[in-house]
Amino acid sequence: MNYKIEIITEAKSDYKKSLLWYKDIHPNLAIRFNDSFKASLAILKKDPFLFQIRYDKTRIIFLKTFPYAIHYSIYDNKIVIKSIFHTSRNSELNQF
């Protein structure tokens, strides 16, 4: 099946903040973060059921070499990215 990825506004904001944070440290670090994020999306698009449901029909994929998790759900042929957040962030503060 061909899956379409939709990133909700809050998740886009999470991504942009993280990318800018890494860019402030070093531009190459931001590039590596972006590449890791894109690689994770490619994995999801290929097989979104590869990762188990963790809570409320939400699955999690962890970025390689970066402490971030992508929280997503699958609806028919659509993958909805709900959040992209640092793994040390308090998950109770993250409302879906």
* All domains in the chain, ordered by first residue: 4-87 (3.30.2310.20)
Token pair listed for 48: 């979104």
Per-residue pLDDT tens digits of the chain, which is 96 residues long: 789 999 999 999 999 999 999 999 999 999 999 999 999 999 999 999 999 999 999 999 999 999 999 999 999 999 999 999 898 865 554 444
For 57, list phi and psi in degrees, rounded to 5.
60, 20
Give the pTM: 0.87
Alpha carbon distance 63, 14 (integer Å):
14
